[in-house]
Structure 1
Amino acid sequence: MKSINASDSVFYFSINAPYKQCEVLYAPSMPDVVMLSESGLSVQVPTNRLRQFVTSNGIKGRFRMVIDANKKIKSFERLG
């Protein structure tokens, strides 16, 4: 993981979605999804950041996304 700077924004998400709901992450017409962070903010997340965590059961866990001051994603990782 890259270091988190004071100017970075950090968002936490809890996801528990069965595989059937995750199928939309592979649709070419769906490059991003809007997710509600644990702090209550709606955040746009590229679907390719989520796909790596999809299993045959779907996607489950708590995730952290770090965005730099230029609104670029520095990291998106599963915490548990």
Structure 2
Amino acid sequence: MNTFFFSLKIHQDAFQAYYTGQARRVSVVAENGKRLELPAHVFRPFVNHQGVTGRFKVTIDDQYRLIQLERV
């Protein structure tokens, strides 16, 4: 398994495209410089009135499948 950390700030208006399904993936750059593409729906538990903000930890398996996403 691999663990990556990244910070994210998506304003609520911008996240609306993800929330409604118009955009399916969120592209982020992890703190180690690797680019990750994550399914947008995994961020829904973290949406608030500002959108999605914070520092996150993502764990993926050796086949690059998402195991866990959490705000840290």
Q: Distance in 1 between matches of 2:36 and 2:25?
A: 10
Please list every run of at least 4 consecutive aligned residues from structure 1 whose deviation after the TM superposition is greater than 6 angstroms: none
Aligned residues: 72
Q: Residues 47-66 of structure 1: matches in 2 within 5 Å?
A: 47-66=40-59
Q: Residues 1-80 of structure 1: matches in 2 within 5 Å?
A: 8-79=1-72
Q: Distance in 2 between matches of 1:24 and 1:10?
A: 27
Give the SS at the match of 1:49: helix
Q: Distance in 2 between matches of 1:24 and 1:12?
A: 24
Unpaired runs of at least 5, structure 2: none
Unpaired runs of at least 5, structure 1: 1-7
Higher Rg: 1
Q: Distance in 1 between matches of 2:38 and 2:10?
A: 16
Deviation digits for residues 2-38 of structure 1, max 9, x if unmatched?
Answer: xxxxxx1111111122211211212323221211111
Check whether the contact 1:25–1:50 (CA below 8 A) recurs between aligned residues: no
Q: Which has the higher strand share?
A: 2
Letter in 1 for 2:10: A
Quote the RMSD (CA, aligned, Å). 1.3
Identity across aligned pairs (percent)?
26
What TM-score, normalized by structure 1, do the two folds share? 0.79
